[in-house]
A and B are shown apart, each in its own frame.
Chain A
Amino acid sequence: MNDSKPLRWKALANDYGMVLVLLILIAAFSVLTLERQSSTGSDAGRVVARNIIAAHGTSGTVVVVAGLKPPDERFLREAKEALEAGGVTVAAIVGGKPADARRTIERVLLEGHSIDAIAATGDAAKWSIYDRFESVGSNKCVSAAPALWPTFAKSENVLNVANQTAIYAIIAIGMTMVIITAGIDLSVGSLVALAAVATAVFIRDVGEGTQTGTGLMIAGCCVGIGVCALAGIFNGAMITRLGIPPFITTLAMMLMARGLARRLSNELSIQALPASFTWIGGDTTFGIPNPVILMITLYGIAHIVMSRTVFGRYVYAVGGNAEAARLSGVPVKRVIVIVYTLCGALAGLGGIVQASKLGSGDPKLGLMFELDVIAAVVVGGTSLMGGEGRIFGTLIGAFIIAVIKNGMNLMKVGAPEQQIVLGAVVLLAVLVDTLKRRGTAL
């Protein structure tokens, strides 16, 4: 009874440790990427208008300049409205490339206006076009002060991180199950390429290329996933029937699947895909990227399967002690085959998301994916010895790796240093696992 308190703390650390690490990383990168963000959007438009009216009164003539970023349109509209409400003459507004702005200013000057000020977004103020005109000059350019804000925490970036993680995280569901059975699957990266190529070839040859309808496109995706599921069955069969270790079986599959993908595609990326094919990987629903929605849905399902179903309990039992599981009536071999099949199918799904994101079936896709996926599972607290691990732990693991990668990218850390850091993170995660085991063994 005396032990109950420390045990509870330990359990808490086990369950929340990784979440805490993720939170600390998010906080750290938010502070580290605090940068001046270029001003644009409707508020910047109002500020610029106010400043111009303050400086030039209401008699001036102004040209409003912005680029092609989505909020630039709001900047133009808001600045024009506010300036005109203040009685300032807006000679022209232009949202476009620097050359467009240059032409507009030329036209305004040619029409006989004198320009008193240029209202610009932060980016447009940096263009060098204004000094081309003697009567304008860059000192007539007014823009709102850049605001300090962590680049890491921009909603755009948060969605990017989630989107870039989604493919790894989806594949990592299958990998978590495999690793819980004390196995490993090295073939997932190659299966990503195989699914992408098989789907693209099907759409090109069986469908009508870019004119393929939705039905055949879905059929193509099923073919891609199906081929990878078959590869998974093959892996499972080799392991259970012939007793070949998972490492070797899936290493062989990694080579064969990659070779098959290259053969099928003649080593060229396949482009003849309909524009709507990019929906699943490249589009958004209510502003959230579709791969992220797919990922969250799959994690919900996988969590229920692993924690609430008989199959889930079997998977843990097989990994904990296969012999004991067999003696207590668990169909060990069947469970292992199903787990590898699921892992293959999920890798195939990942491949389709990837192909859809890039709009092409490329035999070079998924290179080294297996390492990133295994790293996510291990960092997420699943033990390579089998029998232990949680689906949501893997999701956290995938996010920890993605956040570290993204944060380092934003901080301009070089690729070699990033590899060293990620290697250390994986090592640390395994070390924690080992220490935990030693702790329980004692």
Chain B
Amino acid sequence: MSMDIQTRFAIVLMSALLIPGCADNSSNSGTTSGTAVTGDSDTAGGESKGLIGYTTMSLTNPFFKVIGDSMTEEAAKHGYEVIVVSGDDDVNKQSNQIDDFIVKGVSAIVLTPCDPRSIGQAIKKANDKGIPVFTNDTGYDGNEGEVECHIATDNLQGGRLAGEAMVKLLGEAGGTVLVVHKPDASSCLLRVRGFTEIVDAHNAKDGSGKIDVVATLDGKGSREAGYAVTKDAIVSNPDLSAIFAINDPSALGARSALEEAGKQDAVTIIGFDGEKAGKEAILKGTILCDPVQFPDQMGKTTIEMILKYFDGEDVPGEILIPSKLYYREDAEKDPTLQPEEGA
């Protein structure tokens, strides 16, 4: 019996492998009718100009959902269709998704790498098939594959904005600052570098109070770790005046630690990102301000670069989108926060 299964399976496998073999001929001989299709495919019954495949890091993070949605919207305006899939933080899954994109014959692939280095082989595969690859948010860090253009937030400039906000806050009197860091993320390294640049420049000037960064701790970008390191820091630095946290979750973690110690009025927090929870905290006044990122603009710019590429223009290797400071008065005017207010 088992031999029969074996033979049967061999037949299935062989027919599966043979069918496409015959197909290559028939699919092309099918074109003998040879109707010339003009380049203007919009006239051909509104058919799409092509597919763009986007595999993101994780769709559970609303940030990437916004990028995907704005890409879909922008592409639709120009007759392209976007397929959005989530790599779920799994490089293998993401690599398989790129295989599927190639089979589907997409015109371009966009990805936010789940791992900036392990994705190289998959990018190379797309390159070998002549499909252009674009990245956004997180870049590809390697040399096996070739990326046409990387679109991201200008994290260095964002860090500088946070530094400026800190100087505005403490500049006159000076004070002590805790930095809640995430040193394994290249984007966060840039944020802290920009922040330190501005603070150092301020300290080099005469006549105003010095801003002293008393500790830089790894808050892992998460609420839990942000809470834990802040707890430790306020014990060893009881006179702390402010905190700069490299994203909203760790800023909110820091806030919980301050509230528990009854220090929420003595210590001011500056965050980063401007995700919904962060903006809500700014509206409530629990976080002073955020340099915010613009995921919608990131998605839109990604599509613009792809269109530019198909228009035969030379695309720059990297596009950085500047971030902006977002204070309470911005939150009060923010339409995305209003419905929650009413409810």
Contacts and interface: CB of A to CB of B under 8 A. Distances in A.
A15 B5 contact: yes
Contacts of A395: 9
Contact of B20 (A130, A132, A158): A158
Interface string A330-352: 00000000000000000000000
Interface stretch (A39-47, A82-90, A255-263, A317-325): A39-47
A98 B117 contact: no
Contacts of A39: 28, 31
B103 A157 contact: yes
Nearest to A306: B2
Interface size range of chain A in the complex: 35 or more
A55 interface: yes
Given A271-B142, A390-B2, A390-B5, A67 B89 contact: no
Contacts of A51: 34, 36
Contact of A99 (B26, B92, B105, B313): B313
B76 to A, nearest CB: 15
Interface in B101-116: 102-105, 107, 114-115
A122 B132 CA distance: 16
Given A129-B310, A164-B96, A19 B38 contact: no
B37 A143 contact: yes
Interface string B56-75: 00010000000000000000
Interface residues of B, number: 77
A61 interface: no
A50 interface: yes
Interface in B8-58: 8-9, 12, 16-17, 19-21, 23-41, 49-50
B176 interface: no
B148 to A, nearest CB: 8
A164 B93 CA distance: 10
B86 A47 contact: no
Nearest to B130: A68
B7 to A, nearest CB: 10
B259 interface: no
B320 interface: no
B260 interface: no
A281 B40 CA distance: 42
Contacts of A55: 36
B311 A98 contact: yes
Given A47-B31, A392-B9, A415 B307 contact: no
Contacts of A182: none
A37 interface: yes
B310 A415 contact: no
B309 interface: yes
Contact of A144 (B34, B92, B142): B34
B5 A393 contact: yes
B88 interface: yes
Contact of A154 (B23, B91, B131): B23
A77 interface: no
A143 B36 contact: yes
Nearest to B59: A415
A107 interface: no
Interface in A357-382: 357-360, 362, 364-367
B92 A358 contact: yes
Nearest to B21: A155
A142 B34 CA distance: 10
B105 A37 contact: yes
Interface in A189-231: none
A98 B115 contact: no
A278 B114 CA distance: 20
Contacts of A153: 16, 19-20, 23
A126 B39 contact: yes
